Amino acid sequence: MPVIAPGPYTKTLVIGDRAKREAHKYFSEEFSGKKGLVVCDENTEFIARRDFPAFESLTFEKGAVATDTNGDAAALRLSKGGFGYAVACGSGSISDITRYAAAKAGIPFVSYPTAASMDGFVSSVAAMTIDGRKATLPSKAPVALFADPAVFSSAPRRLTLSGVGDILGKYISLFDWRTAHWLMDEKLDDDLINLINRAIDKMLALDPDSPGFAEAVMEGLVMTGMTIQYYGSSRPASGAEHHLSHLWEMHCMSEPTDALHGEKVGVSTLIVLDRYKAAPDEDLAAEYIKPEFTKENLFHIYGPLTDGIIGENTPDPLAALTREKIKAVQPEINRMVKELPDTEALRDYMKKIGAVTTLDEIGLPNTPRFKNLSMKYAPYVRRRITLLKILNIKD
């Protein structure tokens, strides 16, 4: 059992063999007399029916995306059906659909993960696709999480490796958080940083073929996901590596692929890491020019999503940034870059365990042009300071 303190919203966390038993006990004690709805998809429906046979269920199609349309459909079912709580029986999209719907219906929900594939199970925000644009919406964190190794360890190995990619992405998210602290005085929380680093270290210390590896990945995902609750935003767990993933998920630069979120984060982590490693050899301040953040400059990439992207970045998060500030901070940035893992060593680890490492493996163009355009425009997906946003202005 991991040492994960309950958060401000998720008061009960059970990861282990007794998870299903504890879940039913929790339902009877906390939701006595209330009706529960299990939300699942066609891949996890058999788990929902097997582990919660007395519950009504709402099943989405395979590959269902977390959109406001799906979220609204789930919210309508919850409200019209007189349900007192919901259970998210699935992974990323089902979790976001359920948390969005539960918040809209004004009822609590419980997380029952079926794969150790991403870190959003206990998140208090929902990563939703709204009119084609990836957006992080205030939502509802689960009041409890019950993760049974017999369930999530039996998921296809690809899903667990996706979770590995999401955890490894924290190298970049923590770096970008510290960079924003030095450049813009953004608040840091050392306890959360240490929590995430412990999650990474524990996962890397285990043999990927050992029986407990999937459980360590799940623990790491829950630990890193809890930092979102503690901090109040996804800042500790999402940096430039997630921005590339979100850009690709908008499908404005490429056709949709069946790549998993964590797979995209793992590949983007290697891309961003390689770019950051060159930063100490550059004078970031000398070439810094404030960007012309206009519809004309963004439309050829974002197309009809451009207005939403401009709105996301208004007011300009870089308005107060000066060359003098960058010059003063670059020695600290250079020091932090040296503490990042070696790109080739991380790539070798990912290849060794069977994780994807290249753009073509996730169905995207593996060309310098696509990679460079991704790095140039991904930072605008979120109104968030990252080193990549600074580097791309310079570039």
**CATH code of 149's domain:** 3.40.50.1970
Q: Are residues 234 and 197 in the same domain?
A: yes
Residue 281: inside a domain: yes
Structural domain ending residue among the three candidates 113, 132, 155: 155
Strand partners for 37:
56, 86
- The residue assigned the tokens 């667990």 is 160
Q: Are residues 175 and 106 in the same domain?
A: no
- What confidence score (pLDDT) does residue 1 get? 34
C-alpha closest to that of 120 among 146, 143, 141: 141
Range of the domain at 306: 159-394
Q: Are residues 150 and 299 in the same domain?
A: no
Q: Are residues 70 and 146 in the same domain?
A: yes
Q: Are residues 220 and 123 in the same domain?
A: no
Residue 21: inside a domain: yes
Q: Are residues 140 and 163 in the same domain?
A: no
- What confidence score (pLDDT) does residue 2 get? 40
- The residue assigned the tokens 């919660």 is 52
- What confidence score (pLDDT) does residue 294 get? 82
345: Cβ contacts below 8 Å, ≥ 6 apart: none
Structural domain ending residue among the three candidates 103, 132, 155: 155
Q: Are residues 193 and 207 in the same domain?
A: yes
Residue 357: inside a domain: yes
Residue 5: inside a domain: no
- What confidence score (pLDDT) does residue 195 get? 93
Residue 4: inside a domain: no
Tell me phi and psi for residue 358, to 5 degrees: -125, 160
Q: How many domains does the chain have?
A: 2
pLDDT digits (tens, 9 = 90+) for 110-133: 999 999 999 989 988 888 888 877
Structural domain ending residue among the three candidates 155, 189, 212: 155
Is residue 262 within 8 Å of residue 164, measured between CB atoms?
Answer: yes
Q: Are residues 182 and 319 in the same domain?
A: yes
Q: Are residues 352 and 340 in the same domain?
A: yes
Residue 7: inside a domain: no
Q: Are residues 88 and 134 in the same domain?
A: yes
Residue 117: inside a domain: yes
- What confidence score (pLDDT) does residue 289 get? 65
Q: Are residues 340 and 352 in the same domain?
A: yes
Spatial separation of the C-alpha atoms in residues 395 and 384, rounded to whole Å: 18
Q: Are residues 102 and 224 in the same domain?
A: no
Residue 230: inside a domain: yes
* Intervals of the chain under pLDDT 70: 1-5, 287-292, 393-395
361: Cβ contacts below 8 Å, ≥ 6 apart: 263, 267
CATH of the domain at 230: 1.20.1090.10
